[in-house]
Amino acid sequence: MGLDRRSFIAFLAGGTGGILCTPVIWKGLDDISIWSQNWPWIPKLKYGQREKKPVVCKFGSDAYGVRVETAAGRPFVAQGNPDHPLSKGGICPLGAASVQMLYSPSRVKAPMKKVGDGFENISWDEAGKLLAAKIKAAGSDVCAMTGDETGTTADILAGFLAGLGSEACFLMPSESAPAARAWELLGGQGMPGYDIEHADLVLSLGADIHESWGTVVRNGKAMAADNAVYTYVGPVQKAGTSISAKTWVACAPGTEPLVALGIAAYLINAGKGVGMPGYDALKEFVTLTNPPSRVAQATGVSEATMKQLAGALLRARRPLILTGSEFGQGADALGCAAGLVLNVLLGRVNAKGGVTDIPFTAAVVNKAPDRRTLLARDVVGYVQDVAQGKTKPAKVTLVVDANPAYALPQPEVTAKAFEKSDFVVSFSSFMDETAARADLILPASYFIEAMDDAYAPYGSGQANYSVSPAIIDPVFDTKSAAEVILSLAASTGIDLGVASFEEAAKARAEALGADWDTLAEGTAWVAEMSNGSGVSLWNDALRALSLAKVPAGAMILAPLARLHLGVDGTPTTPFGTITIRNTELKKNVLCVQMNAATAGKLGMKQDDAVQVKSPAGSCKAVVSLSEAIMPGVVAMPLCLGHTVGDAFSKNKGDNVYKLLDVQREGGTGMSVFGNPQVQITKA
Amino acid sequence: MIDKAWIPEGVQRCSIGKFLLWLTFIGVFIAWGLYGAFVVLSQGIGTTGLDNYFGFGLWITFDLAVIALGAGAFFTGFLRYILRIDQLKNIINLTVLVGFLCYSGAMIVLVLDIGQPLRCWFGYWHPNVHSMLTEVIFCITCYCTVLVIEYVPLILENRMINKNRFCHHLAHNFHIYMPLFAGIGTFLSFFHQGSLGGMYGVLFGRPYAFREGFFIWPWTFFLFIASAIASGPSFTLLVNKLMEALSGKKLVDDFTKELMAKISGMLLCFYIFWKIMDTWAWANGMLPKEGLTFDQMFYGLAYGKWLLWTELGICGVVPAIMLIIPAVRKIHGLMYIAAFLNCSGIVINRFVQTVQTSAHPVLPFDAWQTYAPNWAEWSTSLMIVAYGFLVMSLSYRYLPVFPKEKELNS
Amino acid sequence: MEHKESNIKWGMVIDLDKCTGCGACMVACEAENNIAPTPDSSNKLRTLSWLLVYEMNNGKAYPEHDVAYLPRPCMQCGNPSCLHVCPVVAIDKNEEGGIVSQVYPRCIGCRYCMAACPYHARYFNWFDPIWPEGMEKTLTPNVSVRPRGVAEKCTFCHHKFAEAKERARAEGRDPSHLEEGDYIPACVAACPNGAMHFGDLNNPKHKVYELSHKPEAFRLLERLGTDPQVYYSSKREWVRRQGDNYLTNEKTKGE
């Protein structure tokens, strides 16, 4: 068959046209593009009526209002609450990730009993009976720990223990305990409060106001208002502290409060404090006993710098000095007192932009000790004593909303203490190191699933009270820890005076003179600024302040607290993992930050694998050079190194709490920890 | 031999057993590559070594390199059918074959390289007239079709298939229209070789690659065309040499070979001159305007200056000079070395234009990153090479690829 | 390349003297925009971080060292390098405010836009997203969930813009004249330190207008000609200098 030109073209054209005329191609392509948008394994969106419900976010020791946005009642994101005085619309990295944690893979979904090496699900009924039986058998040999510093749950817990005859109810370490003690020593009635919004110069002695000290989100908003100049005294440079050139004063780790003594000397020389109670004793202490030269030796801050700082404080109209730990806990009370003394010296107590006195709340739970008493109890000391056999271990240990097996300094010591207790109960929303060690895990409802409250988190300017309503029903078989303890108290025959958490919270509101209905809607109650009684410049206990010289050639650890990595009770969140920096964790190995000079002295360079050893323990790390660290100091981030959790929290670095050895503060006997000397060797 | 009837008349081929053994060897690479492709298509491109800084990696470098090297097809076609250099008929089939394999291979890699292969036709249905890549999509698909059309007659001329009258006449008609297809192919090729260069030259956010140009076409547009046509003939020569080595036969006459080398050399001289000019203008004119220095464009070993000097010098100027000197061309050893250097230079060029462009951080507070392809990328790329060997082996065995083979081996 | 002009120009001004690098913005962005959580983020080049906070320093040794943090969303360029290169028109610069959007059902995943963007603001779904069991119940409505193989990036929470316009309509206000604060992206709303500001760069009543006109305001890589709609601000010269490439003898912007 011949094929001429015409046929050839006809053949080609006809073939092409024919194919294009069938629906196969067009329908096929259309279908393909629809399939490629709708693969069944990609989750679909759900819609519904939108609402924004106010709740209180309490992951760290900060507690502030946020709004959870819901669609048809389903919560999907947490945002700032512009109306809340402690956040003014801001939110921290944990708050921003909070709603998603409702479904964290680590969520404890039902009560669990330890069976052999693992856990078995049991019913609430069985769990309740088991716990009641253990409590009955324990008598007064019960101890409890909670991380909930601001909530009524702590009162319920402490009241319950008191009812059992036990004084061993503790709060986890934070900035509050040393501050409470310090304020008390100086004659304060309640807790020191800080009117940071109205200060025009904020001097931070160690206190990391944007990550771990006080009302972090509120502090940020205060800085945002551009009313003050900020200076930070500490071993690690902070960003965003100000607009002026030199706002970082490098100071040996843990010694920042001592700088207050040096500054006090210059302020006294400039005529401040005359006639104030305790003036003579203070003057002698800071000009003769521990003059600025001694302070300079102990801290590494030069006398000239201290004089400069004093000058700035004198020129400022509303200076405010904040003293605390570099990482939110472990600091000494006397140091805090030294810092508070500066505020007194400058006449900044009960002044606008200064230090206030925030009263403790009235008791609403029978037998519950007041906050001052609770704060005075030393959980670290207790755990150390139990582990070392100096104190009788408790038969039953109740841990509520805390992770001491991870976050107390020297976790192996905590482990030992727990082992000595017959029955450990963990009230936790998430599976963590403490829950893993527990004999009974009682799943606590998550913060949006149960009512909670917060009174004046440390750092507040005046008394305030917020109620966080439950905005959804629990998604798993969980209960509010407070309700469980109340029913346990009832079954043990202890009358706490309240039948439910809500009743206790209402009583609290009434005692404060706050309107319950407004509170329950999510509006915070804020008191007028309180006029506390006079405080003194001095307490003899301050003589115990130690000004030891920094040992030559020593390498001192400065732990770093970073909210985006987590806090004591909450590891890195699933949504927070992307914020982890290569200078904090590199290829899942913890980083030890140091400057080039320090590294040179150690014979180390960037990315060297090392072992960091302290008197308490050792950690595996990798060198990360940073000139933001002063010489002779190494900085390591906390909240990594979890061994229990999920893919988001586990196997990321090492736990720096292992390195923190514990000392007792001279003069108060409180446990202090945080800045051990370390040895760094190549791995 | 069972398949004697399928083998072209008058030529020798190895035993079927030996051939099957050879195919099995090739098959290993194809199998490994198919496994890699399966992993990539079923799990996602995350199974490769690509990342957010290196969206373009081995696959794109490979694609650009084979498309450039496969330019021998269109350019030889242009010279043979449009400029009527008849001598080239002795090698034209080989160039078409190489071209077909390069382009079809690139298309296969692209199926793996785009995140949503089912949407590949969107380039036609939702084209972006401003995008060089739209132009590339249009042209390479059309040109691949042209190459298929140019390859089909060769298949139809298989001794057995050609016995069928319809096929015989179809092949005949294809040959009559071949100049038309060659012309279309030339037009399309110029554009997409250029657009491939244009893709990088228009990136005004990437100082390493960005160039000013003529109208909408950056200088890289023209440089890519020039480098493609300069290296295409060299690549054809190298493929031919490889085939001669593996088969133990002479397939193309010396005169044709040397002609290809001369064409390659002349075009390479033209290209390398303009390339050096462009590099100088970029380093001294464009970079300082953006606050950058020449030194800042290089980093470490993978993105070092040595690559540039190698590309321009040992793999540019040197083979250009070698290939235009008749005496050097006559020494075939040197001719092949020059061809190899020429092709290597073009591969380096395609690598730096894609990968190094992405490696440079641009933001002053950001750092250089490095990229290394992983097994999924290597296996799939080698699969394409193996595919080329496979089709080439089958074509050599059964199709009259080389008109002069019978004469040269009698 | 023609600039696409509009009456409203949504933009940001980020104060680098205030940013503490806390990361709340990054987390808020991730939660708002239905980005699946990343179990192992050690490979930063494979992590979806539409907003990424960079750590910067002045290159000097202690004690002259200084540090800053820089949050980098998509610049929503006035002359986007990505827009013109997409082969399938999967990128759109909106006339009502200049937001550069990614059209997920159109994207073929060629990653050319990623190669084009000098800010590394574009990300790719290398795998299908994996949501821990139950966590998909916290997906934000109106934000598409992306499958693997498509590119994505910061959208200035474009869905919030649409929601703000709807609210305005429902309240009887003009949706094309929104009040400052009607529409704020999640990151800006989250920032606890007042470092981020958002609004209409063309509107003298908006804060960003004032801030973007100050001498200490600058944009990243301005010299490339991208015309970004995100401004940064710092009184520190070394910070501004790292906003662009400079030859040694050239003066920093704002000096």
**Segment A180-213, tens digit of pLDDT:** 999 999 999 999 999 999 999 999 999 999 999 9
Of B50, B113, B116, the CB nearest to C107: B116
Where is A17: in which H helix or E strand?
A: helix A5-21
Neighbours of A333 (CB within 10 A): 26
pLDDT at residue C5, rounded to an integer = 58
Strands (E), A116-245: 118-121, 142-146, 169-171, 191-194, 201-205, 229-234
Query: Shortest Cα distance from B205 to chain C (angstroms)?
Result: 5
Of B43, B122, B363, the CB nearest to C119: B363
* Contacts A36 to B, Cβ<8 Å: 116, 118-119
- Euclidean distance between CA atoms C233 and C12, whole angstroms: 10
Positive or negative, the Cα torsion across A364, A370, A371, A374? Answer: negative
**Reported ipTM exceeds the 0.90 cut:** yes
pLDDT digits (tens, 9 = 90+) for C10-53: 999 999 999 999 999 999 999 999 999 999 999 999 999 999 99
pLDDT at residue A163, rounded to an integer = 96
* Contacts A578 to B, Cβ<8 Å: none
Mean pLDDT across A307-316? 96
pLDDT digits (tens, 9 = 90+) for A516-558: 999 999 999 999 876 667 899 999 999 999 888 878 888 999 9
pLDDT at residue A112, rounded to an integer = 97
pLDDT at residue A330, rounded to an integer = 95
Find the closest chain A residue to C142 by CA distance. Answer: A45
pLDDT digits (tens, 9 = 90+) for A566-583: 999 999 999 999 999 999
**Full residue range of the structural domain in which residue B208 is found:** 4-408
pLDDT at residue A6, rounded to an integer = 77
* Contacts C221 to B, Cβ<8 Å: 205, 362-363
Closest alpha carbon to C239 in C254, C223, C229 = C254
Mean pLDDT across C185-206? 95
* Contacts A5 to B, Cβ<8 Å: 173, 176
pLDDT at residue A531, rounded to an integer = 67
Inter-chain contacts counted by CB atoms under 8 A, chains A and B: 24
pLDDT digits (tens, 9 = 90+) for B332-390: 999 999 999 999 999 999 999 999 999 999 999 999 999 999 999 999 999 999 999 99
Question: Does residue C235 have a pLDDT over 70?
Answer: yes
pLDDT at residue C165, rounded to an integer = 95
pLDDT digits (tens, 9 = 90+) for C159-182: 999 999 999 999 999 998 899 889
Inter-chain touch B115–C224, beta carbons under 8 Å: no
* B 113-132 → C contacts, CB under 8 A: 113-116, 119-120, 122-123, 126-128, 130-132
Residue B195, token pair as written in the block: 């657009």
Question: Does residue B183 have a pLDDT over 90?
Answer: no
**Full residue range of the structural domain in which residue C91 is found:** 10-243
Of B51, B52, B126, the CB nearest to C88: B126
Residue A433, token pair as written in the block: 């190191």
Query: Shortest Cα distance from B367 to chain A (angstroms)?
Result: 13
Please, what is the end-to-end C-alpha distance for chain C in angstroms?
30
Per cent of chain A over pLDDT 70 is 98
Mean pLDDT across A41-45? 93
Residues 6+ apart with CB under 8 A from C171: none
pLDDT digits (tens, 9 = 90+) for B44-92: 999 999 999 999 999 999 999 999 999 888 888 889 888 889 888 889 9
Find the closest chain A residue to B116 by CA distance. Answer: A36
C157 belongs to a structural domain: yes
Question: Does residue A13 have a pLDDT over 80?
Answer: yes
Chain C interface includes B42 (CB < 8 A) = no
Pairing, β A248-250 against β A74-80: unpaired
- Where residue C186 sits, what CATH number does that domain have? 3.30.70.20
The single residue listed with the structure tokens 């290398």 is: C126
* B 74-113 → C contacts, CB under 8 A: 113
Residues 6+ apart with CB under 8 A from C3: C78, C79, C227
Inter-chain touch B46–C148, beta carbons under 8 Å: yes
Inter-chain contacts counted by CB atoms under 8 A, chains A and C: 228
Chain A interface includes B166 (CB < 8 A) = yes
Inter-chain touch A3–B119, beta carbons under 8 Å: no
**Bridge partners of residue A192, in order along the sequence:** A357
C3 belongs to a structural domain: no
Query: Shortest Cα distance from B134 to chain A (angstroms)?
Result: 19
Find the closest chain A residue to B120 by CA distance. Answer: A33
The b/e string for C181-193 (b: 16+ C-beta within 10 A; e otherwise) is ebbbbbbbbbbbb
pLDDT digits (tens, 9 = 90+) for A61-73: 889 999 999 999 9
- Euclidean distance between CA atoms A672 and A257, whole angstroms: 14
- Where residue B157 sits, what CATH number does that domain have? 1.20.1630.10
Q: pLDDT band for position A246 (50/70/90)?
A: very low
Question: Does residue C80 have a pLDDT over 80?
Answer: yes
Per cent of chain A over pLDDT 90 is 88
Query: Shortest Cα distance from C121 to chain B (angstroms)?
Result: 9
- Euclidean distance between CA atoms B73 and B84, whole angstroms: 15
Q: pLDDT band for position B177 (50/70/90)?
A: confident
pLDDT at residue A243, rounded to an integer = 41
Total domain count, chain B: 1
How distant, in Å, are the alpha carbons of A79, A452, C218 from that of A479? 25, 12, 52
pLDDT at residue C48, rounded to an integer = 96
* Contacts B51 to C, Cβ<8 Å: 43, 45-46, 126
Inter-chain touch B203–C111, beta carbons under 8 Å: no
CA C130-C135-C141 angle, 5° bins: 95
Inter-chain touch C242–B365, beta carbons under 8 Å: yes
Chain A adjacent subunits, 3+ CB pairs under 8 A: B, C
pLDDT at residue A245, rounded to an integer = 39
Mean pLDDT across A405-430? 97
Mean pLDDT across B149-158? 91
Inter-chain touch B118–A35, beta carbons under 8 Å: yes
Of C20, C128, C192, the CB nearest to A221: C192
Question: Does residue A665 have a pLDDT over 80?
Answer: yes
Inter-chain touch A36–C105, beta carbons under 8 Å: yes
By the 8 A CB rule, do A630 and A305 touch? no
How far out from the chain centre does Cα A519 lie? 24
pLDDT digits (tens, 9 = 90+) for A357-400: 999 998 899 999 999 999 999 999 999 999 999 999 999 999 99
Please, what is the end-to-end C-alpha distance for chain A in angstroms?
84
Chain B adjacent subunits, 3+ CB pairs under 8 A: A, C
Residue A109, token pair as written in the block: 């979904």
pLDDT at residue B361, rounded to an integer = 93
pLDDT digits (tens, 9 = 90+) for A463-477: 999 999 999 999 999
pLDDT digits (tens, 9 = 90+) for B79-138: 988 888 988 888 999 999 999 999 999 999 999 999 999 999 999 999 999 999 999 999
What's chain A's average pLDDT? 94
Query: Shortest Cα distance from C72 to chain A (angstroms)?
Result: 13
Inter-chain touch A3–B121, beta carbons under 8 Å: no
* Contacts A220 to C, Cβ<8 Å: 20, 22, 191-194
Closest alpha carbon to C100 in C245, C230, C214 = C230
Chain C adjacent subunits, 3+ CB pairs under 8 A: A, B
Interface mutation target, options B113, B129, B131, B140, chain C, most CBs of C under 10 Å: B131
- Euclidean distance between CA atoms A106 and C150, whole angstroms: 30
Of A2, A32, A36, the CB nearest to B169: A2
**Bridge partners of residue C52, in order along the sequence:** C72
Question: Does residue A510 have a pLDDT over 70?
Answer: yes
pLDDT at residue A105, rounded to an integer = 97
* Contacts A582 to C, Cβ<8 Å: 44
Mean pLDDT across C131-157? 96
Residue A631, token pair as written in the block: 């010489």
Total domain count, chain C: 1
Of A3, A5, A33, the CB nearest to B166: A3
